[in-house]
Every structure is written in C-alpha cells, then in structure tokens.
Chains A and B, each alone.
Chain A
Amino acid sequence: MLISHQWLCSLLDLDGPAPDADALATILTGLGLEVEAMHRHGAGVEAILVAEIRGKAPHPQAGKLTVVELFDGERTLSVCCGASNLPPVGGKVALAPIGARLPGGLEIAPRELRGVASQGMICSETELEIGVDGDGILILPDEFPAGARLHTLVPGMVDTVLELGVTPNRPDALGHIGVARDVVAYLSSRPGGRAALKLPPAPAVMAPQDPQLVSIAAPDRCGRYLGYAISGVKVGPSPLWLRVRLHRLGLRPISNLVDITNLVLMEFGQPLHAFDRSKLAEGRVVVRRAHHEEGLRTLDGTDRALAQDDLVIADADDAQALAGVMGGAASAVSAGTTELLLEAAWFAPPGIRVSARRHALATDASYRYERGVDHGAGLERAALRALALIAELAHGRCIAQAEALGARPPRPVIDLRPARAEALLGVAVPTLEALAIFRGLEIEVDVDGLSDRGPTERDAAETILLADPETPNRSPRWSPSWRCVAPTHRPDLQREADLIDELMRHHGLDHVPARFCVPREARPAASADAMSVRGDLLSDGLREAGLQEIVSLAFVAEEKLLHFSDSHDGVPEDRFVRVANPMRGAGVMRTKLVPGLLDALVHNTARHGRPVRLFELGRVYAWPRGQVDPVGFPAGFPVGTRAVDVQLPHERTLAGLLLHAGGRAHADPRVLTGAVAHAIGRLGHRLHLSHGTGTHAAPTVSWLHPGAQIRLAVASVSGPVDIGVAGELHPELIAAWGLPDGLRVAYAEIDLAALPTAAVAKAREIPRFPATSRDLSLEIPITLPAAAVLTALRSAAAVLPAPGEDPVRLQAGEDIELLEDYRGAGVPEGHRALLLRLHYAAAGRSVTDAEVSPLHAAIVEQACLALRARAPSVRPR
C-alpha cells in the first residue's frame, strides 16, 4: 500500500505540526504497519512558477518553435517552446525559470535557439514528474495566479510516498483514512497528546429513496449494498490536483469518474463501481449468483464463463459485473456517459476470494473485499464522498438512492480484562492511555457501566484508578473488565487477545520487560528427539571418516527415481509421493538419496578433479503398501494427531554415502565400508558384512553393480539386523548421470530406523602376554567372500578342543588380520590368494611355538574342509 505523507497529514487534526515523513515512518513501523520503502518526490519543483501567456509569435528561423511572451508575476520573459498545445494568450503554463533544476536533474540555463534568447522553459507533466502525459506542455487552470509557486497550489507535488507492508488482518490500512486513524490513536495516547481524524467533506444527499434501484438476491454473500442514481454527468479530464494525487500513488489518471472512484479507494480503502445506468436494463441492479451457463465480458475485454457460485451484479436481464472483482464491459462508463449508478457495497470475503482465484483476477477491489471492507458508517461515507466529488468535478446530480441489506457481520462485543492484558504482555498499559488508544481506534468502551462519554470520560476513568498507575501491583488498579464493541472497519478484532494486541501496538513493545515467569532452575530437564540424536551421532561418525555432508532438495524429477523403483528395496511408481504443483520439474518426493548425491558428484566432477566424499542424512517418502484402512476412526478431528497421521505418507530417514576417488580413479569399497563401520561404531554397533541370499545372478539391489554389493548388518539381541547396503553404483546409473563410462563410485545406504539400540560396550581384558602369530596364504575362488573365509577360520577355532586350564586360543579382539588380496602371477585364473595373519594367545601366560604350530595347522585344515564344501578349489599355499 502506497501512502502519501502529504495526503495522510491532511487527514490529521493536530495541535502542533504534523510529523515529518521520517517520523511518520517510525510511528507506522512501530504500529506494525511496516514502512518497507520511502520515495521522495518533487525535488526542485519549488522553483516552478505559474506564468501567464502574454504573447505568441512563430520563431523566425525554426518553424516548429513558438516564441512565447510570459508574465511570471513580476516581469515578462520570452521563452522558446516547441509544444503544439500552447494555450491562447491569457492561458497559464508552468515555467521553470533560469536556475531551476527539474526533478529529472535538468538545470535551466539561458540559451539561444537560432538567434532567439530563451529565458526559461515551459514544462510538461513528465518533466515535472507529476504525470505521464509527455505529448505536450502542462496547461494550468486559468484561476491560478501568475507568479505563484505552483507546488503551493497543487498538493502532493512535493511529497514523500511511504510503501507500507500491510498484513492481511488489516484491510482498514488499505486506505489513507485507516492509516491516519492508527496515527491518531498513537498520537492521542501519548502523554499530553491530542489528535483527531479530519475526514473529507461528505454531505448527505437529499435524493429520494427508490427501493427499486437495488436488491439483494443472495443475502448470504452481500451484507450491504448502497446504490445511487446520478444524472447529468459530464465525463472529462480530472483537475490537476487529482491527477497528481493519483500519479503519486502509482495510478494512471483516466477520466474524472474513474479517477474519483480511485481516489475514494485510496482514501477510504472502499472500492466503488460506477455503471453507465443507461446501459442497465430497467436502470436497476440485483446482487445474485450467476445463472447456469451465464457469461460476462469484463472490463479487460475477456469473455468469462461464470460459475454458479460466482456473485454478480446484474441488471434486469444480464450480469453486468463480477461482484467485488471487476465490472462488465457492456455497462462500463465511457466518454459519452451521462447517467450513472454508483455502487458501494460489502461482500462476504470468502466468496470474493474464490471468484477472484477462479478467474485469476486479482484487482484492487477484490484485494480489499476479500480482506473485509467497512460495512458500517465508513461505507456510506465513502459513497457520499464520491457523490460530492462527482457533483463538483463532473456535474452529476444524485436523483435517487437505495440501500439493500443482507447478512451483515455482527459487531463483536468483547470483554477486555485489563489484568489479563497485563498478564499476557508482562506490562501494564495505564488506564488513560488504554482508553485514549481505544477512542482513537473508534473501539467503543464501557468501563463497568461508565461508558466512554467524551469530555467527562477522563473523570470517569479516574474514578477507577484506585492506585498509583506506576505501582506494579495489578489487582486494585484495574476494574475487572471493560465491555468493548469493535468498529465495523476492523474485522480482525474478534476477541480479547485482539484488543490486547491493539494496546500492545500502541503502547509500544519496547516497554515489555525481559522477565522470566518461571525461574530457570525450576524447569524440567529437556531432551532431544531420539532419532535426531541418532542422526547426529551417525553424522559425526561419517564426518570423522572423512565425508562431507550435503543438503539436497527433497523433491526430484520422476525419471531420476525410476532407476530405483524396480529394486526390491525401492519404491514402485504407484507409491511415489507426488507434488501436485512442482517447481523445476521436480515432481516426486525422493525415495532414495542417490539422485541428490549423484547430482552433487556431477557438480563437483565438472569443476575439479579432487576426490569427492559426500554423505547426506535425509528423509525419503513413500505411500505405504496397499490401502490404508482407517477403521475405528472417530468422526471429525478429536485432539490427537492420528486422524491426520493415517492420511500421510511414510517418511524414513536414510544416510547415503558416496565416495569418488577423484578424476578417473576408482573408489575403494573398503574405505566405504570402513566409513560405515566407524559411523555405526559411534552408536555402539559393530558392522557385519554379509552377502545374505544375494548372488551375482540375483543381486540384493538392482541399482548397485551386481558383482560389487553387500548387505550391511549389525548384531542385536535377536540376531543380525539388516541396516542397509553398500557397493558400487550400477554402471547404468553412472551413465544416466552423464558421468564417464567405467567410473566406479562407491555408495552405501543406512536406514536409521533399522538400527537397533546398541548394548552398552563392556570392558574386555587387555592381553598381558604377547601374542604369537602365524601367517596363512589361502588360495580361493574370487567369488568366495573374504567374510566366509574369516567365519570359517573362527568357527574352526571355536570347535577345536582346547586342552588345559589356560588353553591357547585366537586372541580376542584382534584375532585375524587380512593382509593382502593378491590376484596375479602364480594364482590360477578365477582365483585369488588371501594373505591372513592369525594371532594366538593365552589369558595368563606366554604361549610357545610348540603349542601354536599344531593348533594353527588344525584350524587351517578344519577351515579349508568347511570352505571346500562351497568352493572345492580352496587350498593353502
């Protein structure tokens, strides 16, 4: 909302000077009408004079120029002018004398135009920045005295326009009067302050009532409709002051009638509409719902099919306006219009909002109607103001008037307990100040039967001041409650808290002290959400393992998710959670974190060749399998959240890890599983790697390389629990993201919710005697997992008899090391050699070579035997 400082101040009745623009901005921002920008207009126009044309002669050398003799109030000057619209001798124009500087920066200097001296410049509206009419010079009214400073005759030529951010609860602040009312309440509630609203004249009209003129057939949608029949209108241009005023507020002057309705819109915040009454069948209107298949061509020239829920203003036959949104073209005011029907109305906000949305028409009118205009005195006053201006500026005479009523919103009666206000705000607003605020806002107050009685109100208020207002003792000072009636221009005032908000706005929030209501020590111990803690610990572990966290968007393009929808761990298309109105083509809530991590990888590899080690901790989304059956749901929404929760998709938190070695190098999958092992170790878990039932032919997940993937598991009381999967991303994915063919990228996924609660780690005895080790080189097929070899060796060690009191065993904790996975010369095709080191120890003594050698041989033999059942070619080297 644009507010003219000059206009606003003209609406204030003050003892002292009006606040300047900066002071006003501070006041308004303090009142919650935030000033977002200020525009200062009219720099330099103080120098512009009214000049009278005393003579005109064509320029002797230049045919297009006229040499004009101008009287500036003191002397006569000659000025060269190229405009074609120079008025005749005696006409008035705007003269920029020598030395003047125009708002655009042009400085007027004496100059010679082909031998004729020009002592100034005749200005156009554009040059003065008071309009957009650049075709010719500005012609001033004859009554303007020559020599007068133009800006003293045209209010708003020098002005500051404030750009207000008006919150949707304040439709009253969408007009200058509403904003002025807030300023009045503020100024008059300051100590010793006095301020009142100075409303523009709006004399009552004497025209007879004609009930036929308007009627309401949809009383639920239109609460009040005032219609005025006006005759003898002369459509023409508006006077300069009106054009300037509208121009300052960013509106284009059109004609006196349109400009008047726009002026009243900006003044009262009340949209008005003028119909050409001669175009209305039977010269009357009815407010009704649209008929089936009814159409309307609106003012913007668009033919609109109306819905039966659209409210229209119709004449005896057809819709003539989309109520509260836009007028119709057929009955629009034109240059030849002489008869008018002026509308001032209150429409129910929800209906206007729906219609405006349906027809994608956001107009100044709908913007205000859908927030709620004044349905009381302000509505009529706005109409009368327009009638007075139409009479003055367009010679229109009101010949009949009518008022139709529908369901008007009631004026809320609100009991305000000052003690409650103090309890909520933590500060007491003194009674006199509170009463002044309410009076300024036109909230009627009845203090325990002592109604607001104007001059005697101060006495009345003082009788309830039972204690010193400065004493912070709340009980005796306040009467128990004030009965307040909200004004019709403030639809946001509905209950006590709203009135307390008014007190707070005007009293000022700086007065609220900082004071704990409960001592900090008395508060309960707080806790973090368990899943969040788990995520934080996991992130810490991944960070320590050298990975960098990214945050990527939760919605992605559908095709990026289709790569995962066929995998048994993926989400099929029919369970995608879809955004109905997506942006950037990202229409599906992610079902995997892979796309975001791959996007980040692509971003990085396109820019540098360094290693990329990333992780993300984020939610994935899917509809549950099958249909949800909300059996046993109570109707409606009781307290609790189940009724909503059952309609929501599932959200799971995953951790995704992506490792790329940099350039064309291959990521080492052991670094990946190492990162996982370290991170879950943060949560007290040990990693178990198992191929499970997955084989090369039937891999666990389809989006990882079939020969390079493994299931991640941890131990729990009920056996190993799957927590995710690790491997190399499938070459198809690498290709789909446009990465180089053959690039190996390691990826792991951990499902946070799958992680069981870990047992608290128990201390293990530290070996006191050195261990003895034996190396083993085992030749095995490459398809036989190392994990199987380790398991076989451990099982063998566990089942072999351990004689004696303190037998030799594989050393607890660090039992077997895998030193090398050798593939190459000396190893048969399809095979590899694992170099392992087995550590042997006893609990309370040193062990001898003689003890270890036979044990080692027995374990190796037993393990090979077991492994040969799976892979016959296993042999020690």
Chain B
Amino acid sequence: MSPLLAAQIQQFHAALASVTSEEALYELQVAYLGKKGSVTALKGEMGKLPPAERKDFGAAWNRTRDEIEAALERHRDVLKARARDLDLARVVDLSMPPLRPPVGSLHPLTQTRRRLSETFIRLGFDVAVGPHVEGEQFNFDDLNIGKDHPARDMADTFFVEPAAIRGLAPGDVQELVLRTHTSPVQIRTMRTRKPPIRIIAPGTTFRRDDDATHSPMFHQIEGLYIDEGVSLADLKATLMAFTEDFFGQRLAVRFRPSFFPFVEPGAEFDLGCPFCSGRGCNLCKHTGYIEIGGCGMVHPGVLEHCGIDSERYTGWAFGFGIDRMTMMLHQIPHLRLMFEGDTRFLEQFPC
C-alpha cells in the first residue's frame, strides 16, 4: 500500500476517535472523502504514477475509501446508540405544576342554570323567557296576587317609574315592577300558547332584600306543565326524574303543604340530600332533606286569567332559587362572592 494512503488511514482513525457528534462526523467525512477531501485529493495523484502502479494504487485507494466509509458508518451507529442512551437517561418531572392554557370560566350561576336547563330540556321542556321590567298584571294580578292581597307583602317589590304613554285608558295603565319572581313567564306563556304547555323559565329576579343571605338581584327557575289529566303525582315523578339527571342519583321528593296564591293545592318541596343520599350530613342539618322551593297545582283562577279552560286542563308549576342551589352545590360560603367578580373566586369554577 501506498504510504500516503496508509498515513491517511492512520490520521483518519486518530481523528475519528475524538469525534463525539454527528456534525463532527460529517465534517470528518467531508475532510477525507468530500470533493476537496484529502483522500479524494490522493485519487488525483494516481495520474502521476507510472501506468503499472496505477492499478494497484487504484485498488488500494478503493480499499482505503471503503475502510473509511465503513468506519464512518460504524462510528455513526455508535454515536446514535450513545445519543439514544443519553436520551433515555433523561428524567422529565411530570409532577411539575401543569402549565394550563389561559382559558376563562363561566360564572357558577351560569353553569348551574345551564345544567338545569339541559336537564329539563331532556325531560321535554321548552325554555321560555320574559322581561325583567314587568307589568303588575303579569307579576301579580294574573297570579291571584291582587292589589289588596296580603301576599303582596311576601315580595318586597322594586317599582319602576313608568313612561308617559299617550292614549292609554287609565284602567289599562300598568304599574311597573322589577319582576319579583319568574312566575310572570308562566302567565306570558299561557296567554300566548295553547296547551299542552311544558316550559321552564330560568331568569333574573329582584326583591328589596339586602343582607348576608339575600341579594336584591337573584335568579330563579320556574317549571310549568299544563295539559289534560296532569296531577300532583306527575309533578312528583318529574321532580324525581330531574334529580336522577341533575344529581346523578334518584333522590326522594317530599312535599310539605304551603301557600302560594297562584297554586292550589300548594306545597314546598324538599329533595333527599344529594350529598349524603338522605343518610344525614352537615349540609342537610342531619335531616336527610334539603329545602328546595315551592310548587303546586296551577290555581284554576290563574288558568282562567290566561284564557285556558280550567275544567278541561290542569297543570302544575314549581319554582326554586338558582343562587341557593349553586351555593349548595359548590359550597360557596358567602352570597357576596357571587356578585363582586373576584377573579380568584371565578377561576375556581373552570368550566
């Protein structure tokens, strides 16, 4: 072998031993076998040799190139294996606090209202809405709460200054209020639709109450079902089906007689405590039941006010507070948290 080629191989192996990266390996390859590489350059020397030596030199040069290429290839595999081992030796701590995308949140009241609506839609209820500023006719009179009815004391009402309306007969002029409950939506629905009527009406309501447990603005949901042959038993069944969907478990429904002018018979309803499945816990004060809201069979007078035949049709209605339900579900300690918009509160309900 040509001493020149032998020297190249010796040099190459010495250089290869110190190569630790693929980039350096590539540079080495270029330095020896590239267009201007030192081994490539020796090939040009071949022309200067006597013809008899050329063949031998050519063969030797080819062996040299093959040896270098093979060595490069072997070394590349070694480097890859070493790199893989190095990569596998990496330790990633996935217990680090997650980096969450900056998503926002829906207010817990919205979340509860939506879940309630979705549940009742599954049970075949339409969602109905109504204005916040309401005429006394729909907020009170049609609901059997006449001007002289003591039940008007039950709701401490916000009154709204009316606008002057030309040409309205004095008897038709409405006293305006901020609706004290969602029940006027019942009236609006019954006045504009024919039975069967099956609606829920979630919405904002207002009463002149302001303390630790009452906000002057709060939220209710109302349910109404009018058809032939609707009974209190159907209401009980519906509320039970509601608990199954909403709380994921079938809870007991308990009625206690009570009075609301627009239902007769009227009752308050309790649900078996969803937190202890009725066994008794702190949240239900160890009674196994949670007080939820009011309900009853729609008063025949209310049906008549809305032009519905009270002999042919019967129906039930229920209503309860969304705020209380929300506070109960999330165990929110203070009502004020719901309305002051503190981001540190809101981010606790990322939905």
- Which A residues contact B (CB, under 8 angstroms)? 29-32, 34, 167-170, 349-350, 353-354, 370-371, 423-427, 495-498, 500-501, 504-505, 509-510, 512-518, 520, 523-529, 531-532, 536, 539-540, 542-555, 577-584, 589, 596-597, 599-600, 603-604, 607-608, 610, 612-615, 619, 621, 623, 627-631, 633, 635-637, 639-641, 643-649, 651
Contacts and interface: CB of A to CB of B under 8 A. Distances in A.
Q: Is the interface of B mostly helix, strand, loop or mixed?
A: mixed
Nearest to A503: B265
Contact of B138 (A555, A613, A641): A641
Contacts of A550: 107, 339, 341, 346
B102 interface: yes
B110 interface: yes
A357 B135 CA distance: 22
Contacts of A512: 232-233, 236, 255
The 5 closest A-B CB pairs, nearest first, are A426-B233, A600-B341, A32-B257, A523-B124, A167-B259
B210 A349 contact: no
A627 B236 contact: no
A649 B153 CA distance: 25
Contacts of B208: 581, 583
A648 B133 contact: yes
A671 to B, nearest CB: 10
Nearest to A646: B165
Interface stretch (B9-17, B55-63, B172-180, B276-284): B172-180
Contacts of A497: 264-265, 297, 299-300
B164 A627 contact: yes
Contact of A423 (B126, B206, B229, B261): B229
A864 B53 CA distance: 72
Interface in B119-168: 120-121, 123-129, 131-135, 137-138, 147-151, 153-154, 158-168
Nearest to B257: A32
A551 B232 contact: no
Contacts of A597: 341
A527 B265 contact: no
Interface string B185-219: 00010011000101000001010101000011100
Given A551-B107, A628-B165, A641-B138, A167 B124 contact: no
A674 to B, nearest CB: 12
Given A29-B256, A495-B300, A546-B103, A520 B133 contact: no
B227 to A, nearest CB: 7
B346 A517 contact: no
B314 interface: yes
A600 B265 CA distance: 44
Contacts of A579: 158-161, 178
B231 interface: yes
A543 B104 contact: yes
Given A512-B232, A579-B159, A589-B160, 8 more contacts: A426-B232, A516-B237, A526-B120, A543-B103, A551-B341, A579-B178, A635-B171, A640-B191
Nearest to A516: B237
A636 B230 contact: no
A551 B237 CA distance: 33
B328 interface: no
Interface residues of B, number: 105
A356 B254 CA distance: 38
Given A501-B257, A514-B237, A543-B105, A549 B346 contact: yes
Nearest to B187: A641
B233 A577 contact: no
A370 B159 contact: no
B232 A637 contact: no
Contacts of A509: 232, 254-257, 267
Contact of B121 (A526, A639, A643): A526
A169 B171 CA distance: 27
B327 interface: no
Contacts of B188: 641
Contact of A647 (B127, B174, B237, B258): B174
B165 A627 contact: yes
A672 B286 CA distance: 49
A423 B158 contact: no
Contacts of A612: 343
B183 interface: no
A548 B104 contact: yes
B106 A580 contact: no
B109 interface: yes
A597 B340 CA distance: 10
Contacts of A584: 210, 216
A604 B342 contact: yes
B38 interface: no
Contacts of A637: 137, 172
A603 B341 CA distance: 8
B182 interface: no
22 contacts: A31-B257, A423-B231, A424-B265, A498-B264, A509-B254, A509-B267, A513-B236, A517-B229, A523-B124, A527-B127, A542-B104, A546-B102, A548-B346, A580-B158, A580-B161, A582-B158, A599-B341, A627-B166, A633-B168, A643-B172, A645-B131, A647-B176
B169 interface: yes
Contacts of A529: 126-129
B240 interface: yes
Interface in B310-351: 314, 338-344, 346-347, 351
A529 B189 CA distance: 13
Contacts of A524: 124, 196, 198
B233 A514 contact: yes
B132 A554 contact: yes
A826 B128 CA distance: 61
Contacts of B167: 629-631, 633
Nearest to A544: B103
Contacts of B160: 577-580, 589, 649
Contacts of B103: 543-544, 546
A644 B124 contact: no
A536 B174 CA distance: 33
